[in-house]
């Protein structure tokens, strides 16, 4: 799973580049106001996770069940007070007697009690992790996070593990909603640091025990290598943004590739100058015959 440190610069770049679609602005404002109207319920849950902004829970609740308190935060299933457990990802959670109880469980599954700094970048990362990183392999920005902005146009998981490249997500993404929450004065944009909380546990990157998606159906994906990310960036197919390639500035990454290529070529050239190594026709044409060759 991609780490926050590897992706935070990309989320910041995308946030800075994001514009709310004019055609969706009224819908986004309506969702922001609906979330704000249930602020106290979201605050009750956020209080169990020191430093977590309340509106994050409201935004995820919108994505999972359109802010319907009959639907659990895990995946939107209407099982509150029924004695049933979840069937969708993550399965087997519950039963729950209240929505708040279910929400706390959903957040603890993701180990969000370990997050110490809730910056904009962290909110973007945790929102995508909450739903799954499956969109990365298709080179698009997750609609769960960016739908309703200039950073998303088409492509959606329409069921667990089933991606439809032509399907447009009609729901709004977390980040456009959050921007309007700030613009409407319902909350302030989080600052860079939170000095009142203890340090985040070292080496304790939050788990994803579900290994998959919530109701958007994004499967888990294996982490891509640095070389894959470099190729994606050069070809313009990366979905993380231009800010980082696994935490390395792209100019530095390209410089490293050039230096390693030149070093490799020099080593091969020096080795092939040895008289005891027989040269084939290509190397003979490039370097001339080996010493002592007849």
pLDDT at 1: 84
pLDDT at 283: 57
281 vs 94, more confident = 94
CA distance 95 to 101: 10
For the record, the structure tokens of 149 come out as 């902005």
Dump pLDDT digits (tens) for 194-223.
434 455 554 333 343 333 333 443 333 333
pLDDT at 13: 97
In the predicted structure, residue 243 carries a pLDDT above the cut 70: no
For the record, the structure tokens of 56 come out as 């994050």
HSE-up of 102 (CA within 13 Å, CB side)? 30
For the record, the structure tokens of 167 come out as 């399907």
Tokens 């989080």 correspond to 190
pLDDT at 193: 42
Dump pLDDT digits (tens) for 160-200.
789 999 999 999 999 999 999 999 999 999 975 443 445 55
Q: What angle do CA 157, 67, 163 make, to 5 degrees?
A: 0
| Percent of the chain whose pLDDT exceeds 70 | 70
pLDDT at 291: 55
34 vs 270, more confident = 34
pLDDT at 203: 39
Dump pLDDT digits (tens) for 64-118.
999 999 999 999 999 999 999 999 999 999 999 999 999 999 999 999 999 989 9
Backbone φ and ψ of 178, nearest 5°: -65, -40
CA-derived radius of gyration, the chain: 24
In this structure, the number of other CB atoms found within 10 A of the CB of residue 283 comes to: 16
Mean pLDDT rounded to a whole number for the chain: 80
pLDDT at 275: 61
Strand-pair partners of 164: 156
For the record, the structure tokens of 221 come out as 């994906």
Tokens 């888990």 correspond to 220
What integer is the mean pLDDT of 45-63? 97
Which range, of 82-96, 131-145, 208-222, 247-261, averages the lowest pLDDT?
208-222
pLDDT at 271: 64
């Amino acid at each position: 799973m991609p780490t926050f440190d590897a992706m935070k610069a990309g989320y910041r770049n995308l946030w800075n580049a994001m514009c709310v679609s004019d055609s969706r602005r009224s819908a986004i404002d309506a969702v922001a106001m609906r979330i704000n109207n249930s602020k106290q319920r979201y605050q009750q849950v956020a209080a169990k996770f020191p430093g977590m902004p309340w509106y994050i829970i409201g935004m995820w609740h919108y994505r999972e069940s359109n802010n319907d308190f009959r639907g659990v935060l895990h995946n939107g299933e209407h099982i509150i007070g029924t004695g049933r457990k979840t069937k969708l990802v993550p399965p087997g959670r519950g039963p729950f007697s209240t929505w708040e109880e279910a929400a706390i469980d959903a957040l603890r599954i993701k180990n969000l009690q370990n997050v110490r700094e809730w910056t904009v970048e962290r909110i973007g990362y945790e929102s995508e992790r909450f739903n799954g990183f499956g969109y990365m392999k298709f080179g698009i920005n997750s609609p769960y996070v960016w739908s309703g902005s200039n950073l998303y146009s088409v492509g959606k998981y329409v069921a667990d593990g089933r991606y439809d490249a032509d399907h447009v997500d009609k729901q709004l993404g977390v980040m456009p909603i959050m921007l309007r929450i700030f613009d409407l004065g319902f909350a302030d944009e989080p600052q860079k640091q939170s000095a009142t909380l203890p340090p985040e546990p070292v080496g304790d990157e939050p788990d994803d025990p579900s290994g998959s998606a919530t109701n958007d159906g994004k499967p888990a994906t294996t982490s891509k290598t640095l070389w894959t990310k470099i190729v994606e960036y050069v070809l313009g197919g990366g979905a993380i943004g231009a800010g980082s390639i696994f935490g390395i500035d792209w100019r530095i990454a390209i410089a490293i590739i050039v230096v390693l290529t030149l070093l490799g070529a020099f080593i091969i050239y020096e080795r092939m100058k040895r008289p005891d190594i027989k040269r084939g026709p290509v190397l003979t044409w490039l370097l001339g015959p080996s010493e002592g060759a007849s």
